Amino acid sequence: MFVYLIATLDTKGREAALLRELLLAAGAHAGMQVRVIDVGCVSPPAFAPDVPREEVFAAAGASLDEVVARRDRGEAVTTAVQGAAALVRRLHAGGQVAGVIAIGGSAGTTIGTAAMRALPLGVPKLMVSTLASGQVRHYVGEKDILMLNSIVDLAGVNRVTRSVLSTAARAMAGLATLAATNAAVSESSDKPLVAATMFGVTTPCVERAREVLERAGYEVLVFHATGSGGQAMESLVADGLLAGVLDITTTELADELVGGVLSAGPERLTAAARYGVPQVVTVGALDMVNFHARASVPEKFAARSFYQHNASVTLMRTTPAENRELGRELGRKVSASRGPAAIVLPARGVSAIDREGAPFDDPAARLELFAGVRETAGSIEVIELDRHINDTEFAEAAAGKLLELMTAFSKEQTR
């Protein structure tokens, strides 16, 4: 059982040496071994690593000597990021990775978490960082990475760094030791997995759809469509873990288009299409763009229609023109599906606050949204129901369609 420790051994050598000792002691009962990967490039390493920096840079298709000669720290970090990710991915494919732990400041955190993001869900990942108490989404992404605040800078060994690194070592030893047991438990379930996306304003739909799918023998993973949630779902599709996707809440597309705070990036709604996973997609919460407190909304949107969800969440109504473009994008992305897919449209409203008499009720915007979908959906089946998205009949129809697609796909695969 190998745990890989990633560190810049020129600047964090003493700390890495201490952490290696602590890891070996904490995991001795389980026979845990530690391999150190050096991702430094400035001064010589403080001790000989198991994986030298030359091998890391070679994994990125680069020469360490040439990178060092250019004296460009940004280039060096970028290359180390690419190399560490490629190296760890290769080691995991060979069955050699029981866990990955890293230490560092901004550069070390960038490199270490890039390597961790290259690994699938379930592999223990722990980053000891000086940046762990701040905004860490761009480090964690859609992966199950644990961030541990180093409290003080990782510059020398003292009572604080010793305490923090001791905690990190015990945590990683526990994670690595228990990972095999957890994997066995997960693999013991024979229920295929289905992903569903949800927001507060689409909860009734997803809850009813989940009941239908579970009754049919599926295990349903519900993702909160907050940017990172959509990214996490796309990642699980790419990892080959899902039998189907019920993409009820595609609201993250609106934040990406208009500039809200919950974007999942331009790759949202592409993984199921790319990997041929059966999917049923609808337009849940595309009536809104998300911001934080009202004061956080950019001034250029001052004349728009808003709904104060709570003190920390402000919703802005999407316009008919934005809806047309959102429909086009959704249709375009689903039409690229290599597997079975369908789009289901709720004629009476796409969220809890988009229905007759509700704050975001806008029939003209819905018509534009649906027209945009049909414009680009190509041969994909588009089903419009005279129902609100949270109506029981709509939820059951969407779940039923996905069951139909998954069943037909499964039969096709076994021929």
Cα torsion for 322, 325, 326, 331, to the nearest 10°?
160
Q: How many domains does the chain fold into?
A: 2
pLDDT, tens only, 358-372: 999 999 999 999 999
Lowest mean pLDDT of 18-27, 64-73, 134-143, 178-187, name the range: 178-187
The predicted structure's pLDDT at residue 181 = 54
Task: Please say if the pLDDT value at position 117 is more than 60.
Answer: yes
Side-by-side strand order, sheet with 288-291 = 288-291, 313-317, 306-310
Let me know whether 162 and 117 are in one domain: yes
Residue 22 makes CB contacts below 8 A (sequence gap 6+) with: 165, 166, 168, 169, 170
> What CATH number is given to the structural domain containing 14?
3.40.50.12020
Task: Please say if the pLDDT value at position 20 is more than 90.
Answer: yes
- Report the alpha-carbon distance of residue 369 to residue 378 in Å, rounded: 16
Let me know whether 157 and 272 are in one domain: no
Q: How many CA atoms lie within 13 A of 188 on its CB side?
A: 6
pLDDT, tens only, 171-218: 999 999 886 555 544 544 679 999 999 999 999 999 999 999 999 999
Let me know whether 116 and 176 are in one domain: yes
Let me know whether 200 and 152 are in one domain: no
Let me know whether 361 and 330 are in one domain: yes
Mean pLDDT confidence for 155-182: 88
User: Sorting pLDDT into bands at 50, 70 and 90, what band is 411?
Assistant: confident
Residue percentage of the chain with pLDDT more than 70: 97
pLDDT, tens only, 339-350: 999 999 999 999
Q: Which residue, 143, 170, 186, sits at the end of a domain?
A: 186
The predicted structure's pLDDT at residue 179 = 67
Reference 290, options 311, 312, 315; nearest CA is 315
Helix axes 203-215, 392-413, angle to 10 degrees: 40
- Report the alpha-carbon distance of residue 229 to residue 227 in Å, rounded: 5
The predicted structure's pLDDT at residue 255 = 98
Start-to-end CA distance of the chain, whole Å, equals 39
Helices and strands in the chain: count of H runs, count of E runs: 14, 14
Reference 366, options 341, 385, 348, 381; nearest CA is 348
Query: Which domain range does residue 164 map to?
Result: 2-186
Q: Which residue, 166, 186, 206, sits at the end of a domain?
A: 186
Phi, psi angles (nearest 5°) of residue 191: -80, 125
DSSP code for 28: G
Cα torsion for 34, 38, 44, 47, to the nearest 10°?
0
pLDDT, tens only, 234-275: 989 998 989 999 999 999 999 999 999 999 999 999 999 999
The predicted structure's pLDDT at residue 189 = 62
Residue 363 makes CB contacts below 8 A (sequence gap 6+) with: none
Q: Which residue, 186, 204, 226, sits at the end of a domain?
A: 186
CA distances from 315 to 251, 324, 360, 410 (A): 11, 19, 10, 40
Residue percentage of the chain with pLDDT more than 90: 85
Q: Please say whether the beta carbons of 318 and 286 come within 8 A.
A: yes
Structure-token pair, residue 27: 């995991």
Let me know whether 217 and 153 are in one domain: no
Reference 102, options 51, 40, 37, 45; nearest CA is 37
Let me know whether 171 and 93 are in one domain: yes
Q: Please say whether the beta carbons of 18 and 49 come within 8 A.
A: no
Mean pLDDT confidence for 274-291: 98
Let me know whether 178 and 220 are in one domain: no
Let me know whether 134 and 280 are in one domain: no
User: What is the pTM assigned to this prediction?
Assistant: 0.77
Let me know whether 168 and 206 are in one domain: no
How many residues are present in the chain? Answer: 415
Task: Please say if the pLDDT value at position 42 is more than 90.
Answer: no
pLDDT, tens only, 314-334: 999 999 999 999 999 999 999
The predicted structure's pLDDT at residue 71 = 85
Q: Which residues lie across from 388 on neighbouring strands?
A: none
Q: Please say whether the beta carbons of 194 and 219 come within 8 A.
A: yes
Let me know whether 25 and 56 are in one domain: yes
Let me know whether 145 and 292 are in one domain: no
The predicted structure's pLDDT at residue 184 = 46
